[in-house]
């Protein structure tokens, strides 16, 4: 058959008419003879069958497209942070991002800078830092986040923990004073804190930074509340990402609409925090209620941008609910009874470690296996 088809193709290429196919009795097929018109062979009319492995339906979204879309949604949040903390916010973010990019370029795979993952890591790490942190610390944190939070596990898609939070945890352990010194809001956006320019491994010398307590610090250590409107718009002390909670929700809603994050994770976190804190407030009115616990600290940023990391979060919907509820409960426990005022970072990292077990428990059964088990029993 293949030889006949090849010969026929050659004849058509030479412009020669193709001979009519004959039937089993030796006559021409399809009336090709006795005045009947000759037709081409069915082999030439049969479409080719292409065999390929799944997936057969491809999404137009790629890893770089998703990553750079997330970066674009961080731009408004960065703008608000700059408005409240001045030029120092941009310097801290740039330093953390530069450290992440340098290690990615040096130790990562060729061309890995283009996927945007290192940029996201640097920006998210910078948003978890105070505006007055020395720039070299922010740079070191970005380098650690990529080197020990991503590349040491094998690169993009292989890491267990969120790289930005792992970098932040490293800075928290290495430089606790700098990580818990919160400068007051800047009087103008061109403001640069003197502590930003401290030399590596040296103190900044003359102190020219006015500090202020964070809402969680006031609540935990001084038992003072904070106006909810200030919490909603971010006009409070804290890290760069503890600003504009409403704006973070809007940006997160856009990512959920694009299906770039699993909306069940932040909803589970917010629900767990609200329900648990409301229950505790009902039992002990001296404890903060649900609105304060939701709007204060880095809960909004952590729930929307860090807990929803596709690599370090569960792949099943049921697992996502369990993952989010665990983060919410641990966050409330650390905030109320832990030694630190904030617990979002450690709660996410702790639940990151449990993701493989959550996926294993919530993995759906293969079609037909459950019935087979029942018959075997």
CB atoms within 10 A of CB 131: 32
Does residue 139 surpass a pLDDT of 80? yes
Minimum mean pLDDT range among 23-37, 43-57, 85-99, 206-220: 23-37
Does residue 351 surpass a pLDDT of 80? yes
Q: Identify the pLDDT of residue 249.
A: 93
Q: Identify the pLDDT of residue 35.
A: 47
Minimum mean pLDDT range among 90-94, 107-111, 122-126: 107-111
Q: Identify the pLDDT of residue 48.
A: 73
Q: Identify the pLDDT of residue 12.
A: 43
Q: Identify the pLDDT of residue 130.
A: 92
Q: Identify the pLDDT of residue 62.
A: 83
pLDDT, greater one: 323 or 343: 323
pLDDT, greater one: 104 or 366: 104
pLDDT in tens, 168-217: 999 999 999 888 888 877 777 777 887 888 888 765 555 555 666 787 88
Minimum mean pLDDT range among 40-44, 54-58, 178-182: 40-44
Q: Identify the pLDDT of residue 15.
A: 45
pLDDT, greater one: 32 or 296: 296
Which of 10-19, 101-110, 196-205, 267-276 has maximum average pLDDT? Answer: 267-276
pTM for the whole thing?
0.80
Residue 28: DSSP 8-state: B
What band does 123 get if pLDDT is binned at 50, 70 and 90? Answer: very high
Cα 323 to chain centroid distance, Å, stands at 15
How far is Cα 361 from Cα 141, in angstroms, rounded to an integer?
Answer: 34
> How far are the Cα atoms of 76, 234, 285, 289 from residue 228, in angstroms, in the given order?
21, 10, 17, 11
CB atoms within 10 A of CB 336: 17
Q: Which of 70, 87, 93 is nearest to 241 (CA)?
A: 93
pLDDT, greater one: 368 or 17: 368
pLDDT, greater one: 206 or 94: 94
pLDDT in tens, 280-317: 999 999 888 999 999 888 899 999 999 999 999 999 99
Minimum mean pLDDT range among 237-241, 267-271, 279-283, 301-305: 237-241
Minimum mean pLDDT range among 218-227, 324-333, 336-345: 218-227
Does residue 7 surpass a pLDDT of 50? no
What band does 14 get if pLDDT is binned at 50, 70 and 90? Answer: very low
Does residue 30 surpass a pLDDT of 70? no
Instruction: Provide the CB-side half-sphere exposure for 233 (13 A, CA).
Output: 6
Cβ-based neighbours of 330, under 8 Å, separated by 6 or more: 343, 346, 347, 350, 351
Does residue 73 surpass a pLDDT of 80? yes
What band does 222 get if pLDDT is binned at 50, 70 and 90? Answer: confident
- Helix axis angle for 245-257 and 63-85, nearest 10°, is 170
Does residue 6 surpass a pLDDT of 50? no
């Amino acid at each position: 058959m293949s030889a006949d088809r090849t010969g026929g193709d050659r004849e058509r290429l030479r412009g020669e008419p193709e001979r009519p196919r004959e039937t089993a009795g030796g006559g021409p097929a399809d009336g090709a003879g006795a005045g009947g018109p000759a037709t081409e062979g069915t082999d030439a009319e049969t479409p080719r069958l292409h065999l390929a492995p799944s997936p057969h339906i491809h999404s137009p979204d790629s890893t770089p497209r998703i990553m750079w879309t997330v970066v674009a949604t961080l731009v408004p949040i960065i703008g608000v942070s700059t408005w409240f903390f001045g030029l120092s916010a941009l310097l801290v973010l740039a330093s953390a991002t530069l450290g992440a990019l340098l290690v990615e370029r040096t130790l990562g795979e060729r061309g890995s800078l283009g996927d945007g993952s290192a940029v996201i890591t640097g920006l998210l790490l910078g948003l978890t830092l105070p505006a007055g942190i020395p720039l070299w610390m922010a740079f070191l944190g970005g380098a650690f986040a990529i080197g020990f939070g991503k590349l040491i596990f094998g690169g993009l898609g292989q890491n267990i923990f969120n790289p930005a939070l792992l970098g932040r945890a490293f800075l928290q352990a290495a430089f606790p004073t700098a990580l818990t010194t919160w400068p007051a809001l800047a009087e103008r956006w061109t403001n640069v804190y003197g502590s930003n320019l401290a030399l590596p491994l040296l103190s900044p010398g003359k102190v020219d930074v006015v500090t202020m307590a964070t809402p969680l610090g006031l609540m935990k250590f001084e038992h003072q509340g904070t106006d909810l409107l200030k919490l909603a718009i971010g006009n409070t002390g804290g890290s760069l990402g503890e600003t504009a909670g409403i704006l973070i929700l809007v940006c997160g809603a856009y990512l959920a609409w694009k299906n770039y994050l699993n909306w069940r994770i932040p909803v589970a976190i917010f629900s767990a925090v609200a329900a648990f804190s409301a229950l505790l407030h009902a039992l002990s009115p001296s404890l903060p209620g649900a609105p304060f616990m939701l709007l204060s600290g880095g809960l909004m940023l952590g729930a929307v941008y860090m807990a929803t990391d596709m690599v370090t979060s569960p792949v099943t919907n049921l697992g996502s609910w369990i993952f989010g509820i665990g983060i919410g409960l641990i966050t409330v426990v650390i905030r109320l009874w832990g030694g630190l005022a904030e617990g979002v970072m450690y709660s996410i990292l702790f639940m990151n470690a449990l993701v493989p077990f959550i996926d294993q428990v919530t993995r759906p059964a293969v079609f037909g296996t459950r019935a087979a088990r029942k018959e075997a029993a």
